[in-house]
Structure 1
Amino acid sequence: MKAIKDFENKKVLVLGLARSGEAAARLLSKLGAIVTVNDSKPFEENPSAQALLEEGIKVICGSHPLELLDEDFEYMIKNPGIPYANPMVAKALDKGIPVYTEVELAYCISESPIIGITGSNGKTTTTTMIADVLNDAGQSGLLSGNIGFPASEVAMTASEKDKLVMELSSFQLMGIDRFHPHIAVITNLMPTHIDYHGSFEDYVAAKWNLQNNMTTDDYLVLNFNQDLAKELANKTQATLVPFSTREEVDGAYLSDGNLYFKGEAVMAADNIGVPGSHNIENALATIAVAKLLGISNDVIAETLSHFGGVKHRLQSLGQIDDVQFYNDSKSTNILATQKALSGFDNSKVILIAGGLDRGNEFDELVPDLIGLKKMVILGESAPRVKRAADKAGVDYLDAKDIQEATQIAFREALAGDVVLLSPANASWDMYRNFEVRGDEFIAAFEALKGE
């Protein structure tokens, strides 16, 4: 960890805890900052705040008092999920206080080069693939960021021999200033989180912040399946490395069933360990990064062929009576479910879908639903999902929760079928997050397996 003086004796407000806020508070304290933590959760129900207080860090819990910002803070580090319209954040900005997310802190102290991965879909899988390939090649890729390991926490112990393989959300990327990855990947850009950003243009702008400080000595890996990426490619100083499943590009591409990098065959597409056309894109992005780092084709092919997926992202749970179960709880939008379905024969699939009602219809999903064996539908958005099923000519059944949906789906399945949880909706109508939803699916699978 770099012994920086930027925050020494500076008053810093950490707004919002969770894992990233807790990590940021500890790091700032270690850097000599005068830290105050403010979290909405009451102190008596807040183990993180209790632990920080025991370590000598000031904590204010239960509300976000605006008068707190009259204490002449020089920086605010906010939880990525807190919107900029939040009164505390808005007041900080009005007062000219820089507002960062903790990935900016991670960059400031990191001795390790950073590989930053963002995108609307596929970023968790791609991040994990890249780290696995690096580790199998002996290059020590450390998972960090939005994937569940706070970047500032990982950066504290990483050395110059490591590489931080950092998943980055649009929320995190809105709060950076000097952040500078050596290699950056944007998997794709699709309309999502518009409720947070206000418009697709603002969402894209947040993602594009990833490359703001990159130079010609750095590499930006872009998905040339998208015209938008081709347009953005002209607006960066970084050295461009495209990937595509549709055309031969000066980077990584699919041709005649094989994955290539700059004309050199790396592996067969069918050998990737997880199904779906989207995972071919993820593998191509991974290959681009790996080849930039000098990793051999043999290591890349071996790692990707044994890649078992990421928990909650088209995760194979196994079989019961020759019925295969896949947990794709992280598919919280239509595109993600479209990509999941692309890897299967619809006539064998029983799809579990539905969740938070965001007011959108599912007409875009209709072509991908055609031919499904059956659907099990649940959640607030059930009436809208049912309309899509009707348009696709797919029979469906109702369920009150994931446990019941899993039981119904298995009851309807025959040997050779697939039970796929890929909701196309966020989870917040019924579950705290997609992880909890996916964990209930896993638990339901295990219960059926034990019967």
Structure 2
Amino acid sequence: MMKPCLILGGGVSGRAARRLAETLGMEAEILSDPAPCPPEEAVAHRSLLVTSPGVVPLTSPLWQAAARRAERGEVEFISELEFGFRHLPRRRCIAITGTNGKTTTTELACHLLNASGVPAVTAGNIGVPLSDIAADMREGKLQPETLPVVEVSSFQLERADSFAPVAAALLNLESDHINRYAGGFEEYCEVKRGIFRHVPEENRIFGLSLPAPRRVEVRAGRLFVDGRELIDTAGTRLHAPHNQENLAAAVELALRLLPEGGVFRREFTDAILSFEPGRHRIELVAEQDGIRYVNDSKATNPASVLAALRTLPQRRCAVLLLGGLDKGMDFTPLLEEKERVRFAVLYGACRAAIAAVLDGKIPFAECGNDFEKAVEIASAHALPGDTVLLSPACASMDMFRDYKERGDRFAAAVHALLSERSGGTGPV
């Protein structure tokens, strides 16, 4: 065995880091708060400390003890993302960050590259830690020339000092995860911009909402590359404004990797046409009596709720289901589209914080932690032409394992409710 490695925090990322460490011949151990001994003692006698993104610097005694040792020059302390990147055989990847749209852009960029003959896999915050990709390559389960397309959260960018994607995209910056950073929104933005630390200036890509020169533009729903029309998004599943932003970023990334003119080849445009965004993103669950039921459980901050509301047909309203785990966010942006919200149903840990913003401006009801009751009340307030929209503006972990479980619970509650109303005659 080589030098001993301690991984802070378990979960998917922690297990991936341990697997990679063991592949490299290291003695690896996972340790989570609270440690079985004083934190300084727990992180002593290790040559390398790797932190999972879920370990919160402001509240984790283990993380703080590790940081103190690193500041004294006694140990190297890095993130799981950094650990995985360092051990990619070719140290080559592209990366996407931003408050919203990361997952769709990551999946789309990977889809477009594979269709164009560039072998690529999704990695990072999308569910497959970069350390697992590095281990797969080292074990021969994945070819070393495969390009990881890495979704990167702000958590993963912390302590990632040498992370150097070939090209990277910062999609947008909105209020999110403010409870993680003592410096509030400004510190959050600074961490996000750190994705460009080692990226050549010409390969730094900014989303359409951010001021920057760009080769890709969207005008009247049409995507242009260097002034030449590439595709009309009306014929794709990416025609909503927020998905046009995701498409533009994915095409910008492809321009940095494909041969000249590669984005105008038939296989590339066919790949845009064939792409379907993943589940839990403005996903139609059911329709009955002129009312649509839409699962947008992936909307974990106010900006993503606004994006969902702006996809509604003109002069149509939503009944919103809002709530969950608070991340110290500002909920006042929800009022920007208050004319589109007929009623809101609030549930979960931060329902009071949302209620304080909506009070007197958007009518609402509170349902405690009874999610099925929240769906029932939302449906009762909807009129023909309305959309009952689960777009929570919050994380899910107060009541659910993750946003996927929350979306599945919503779908199940909707189907049960509508089946009961139709006399139990089957799925709706």
- TM-score band by shorter chain is 0.7 to 0.9
1:29 Cα offset (Å) = 1.0
Q: 2:248 corresponds to which letter in structure 1? A: L
1:95 aligns with 2:63: no
Number of aligned residues: 402
Q: 1:408 corresponds to which letter in structure 2? A: I
C-alpha distance 371-336 of structure 1, shift in aligned 2 (>3 A): closer
Alpha-carbon deviations, 1:86-133, whole Å to 9, x = none?
Answer: 222222222232211221122122246311111111111111111222
Are the aligned partners of 1:16 and 1:39 in contact in 2 as well (CA < 8 Å)? yes
- Matching residue within 200, 207, 225 for 1:261: 225
1:17 aligns with 2:3: no
The match for 1:122 is 101
Are the aligned partners of 1:337 and 1:424 in contact in 2 as well (CA < 8 Å)? yes
1:270 aligns with 2:234: yes
Distance 2:267 2:414 in 1: 33
1:448 Cα offset (Å) = 4.2
- Give 3-state SS (helix, strand or coil) of 1:143's partner: strand
The equivalences for 1:414-429 within 5 A come to: 416-429=385-398
Alpha-carbon deviations, 1:58-98, whole Å to 9, x = none?
Answer: xxx7677431223x211101111212342222222222322
The match for 2:31 is 38
The equivalences for 1:84-233 within 5 A come to: 84-85=57-58, 86-96=60-70, 97-111=75-89, 113-157=92-136, 158-199=142-183, 200-215=185-200, 219-227=203-211, 230=212
C-alpha distance 299-407 of structure 1, shift in aligned 2 (>3 A): farther
1:306 Cα offset (Å) = 3.7
- Matching residue within 294, 311, 315 for 1:343: 311
Alpha-carbon deviations, 1:120-176, whole Å to 9, x = none?
Answer: 111111111112222333323201100111111123223243210110111111121
1:330 aligns with 2:298: yes
1:321 Cα offset (Å) = 5.3
The match for 1:303 is 271
The equivalences for 1:54-73 within 5 A come to: 65-70=39-44, 72-73=45-46
- Give 3-state SS (helix, strand or coil) of 1:116's partner: strand
Distance 2:268 2:284 in 1: 21
Are the aligned partners of 1:362 and 1:385 in contact in 2 as well (CA < 8 Å)? yes
1:361 Cα offset (Å) = 6.0
Are the aligned partners of 2:4 and 2:47 in contact in 1 as well (CA < 8 Å)? yes
C-alpha distance 84-98 of structure 1, shift in aligned 2 (>3 A): farther
Distance 1:107 1:375 in 2: 43
TM-score when normalising by structure 2: 0.85
Q: 2:113 corresponds to which letter in structure 1? A: L
Alpha-carbon deviations, 1:27-79, whole Å to 9, x = none?
Answer: 101101122221348xxxxxxxxxxxxxxxxxxx7677431223x21110111
Are the aligned partners of 1:39 and 1:63 in contact in 2 as well (CA < 8 Å)? no
Are the aligned partners of 1:308 and 1:315 in contact in 2 as well (CA < 8 Å)? no
C-alpha distance 347-356 of structure 1, shift in aligned 2 (>3 A): same
Are the aligned partners of 2:179 and 2:327 in contact in 1 as well (CA < 8 Å)? no
Are the aligned partners of 1:40 and 1:63 in contact in 2 as well (CA < 8 Å)? no
Alpha-carbon deviations, 1:196-225, whole Å to 9, x = none?
Answer: 122223222222221222236x61111253
Distance 1:83 1:359 in 2: 14
1:449 Cα offset (Å) = 6.0
Distance 2:373 2:279 in 1: 21
1:442 Cα offset (Å) = 2.6
Are the aligned partners of 1:221 and 1:285 in contact in 2 as well (CA < 8 Å)? yes
Are the aligned partners of 2:290 and 2:384 in contact in 1 as well (CA < 8 Å)? yes
Q: 2:133 corresponds to which letter in structure 1? A: V
Aligned CA RMSD, in angstroms, stands at: 2.7
The match for 2:47 is 74
Distance 1:107 1:16 in 2: 19
TM-score when normalising by structure 1: 0.81
Distance 1:140 1:82 in 2: 32
The match for 1:239 is none
Alpha-carbon deviations, 1:253-303, whole Å to 9, x = none?
Answer: 112331111111111132331463211111111121223333433444433
Distance 1:64 1:168 in 2: 32
Q: 1:102 corresponds to which letter in structure 2? A: E
Which runs of 5 or more structure 2 residues have no equivalent in the other structure?
Answer: 137-141
C-alpha distance 255-430 of structure 1, shift in aligned 2 (>3 A): same
Are the aligned partners of 2:100 and 2:172 in contact in 1 as well (CA < 8 Å)? yes
1:378 aligns with 2:356: no
C-alpha distance 326-150 of structure 1, shift in aligned 2 (>3 A): same
The match for 1:234 is none
Are the aligned partners of 2:176 and 2:328 in contact in 1 as well (CA < 8 Å)? no
- Give 3-state SS (helix, strand or coil) of 1:188's partner: coil
1:313 aligns with 2:281: yes
Distance 1:415 1:64 in 2: 61
Which runs of 5 or more structure 1 residues have no equivalent in the other structure?
Answer: 1-7, 42-60, 231-241, 243-249
Are the aligned partners of 1:352 and 1:422 in contact in 2 as well (CA < 8 Å)? yes
1:415 Cα offset (Å) = 5.1
- Give 3-state SS (helix, strand or coil) of 2:237's partner: coil
Q: 1:272 corresponds to which letter in structure 2? A: T
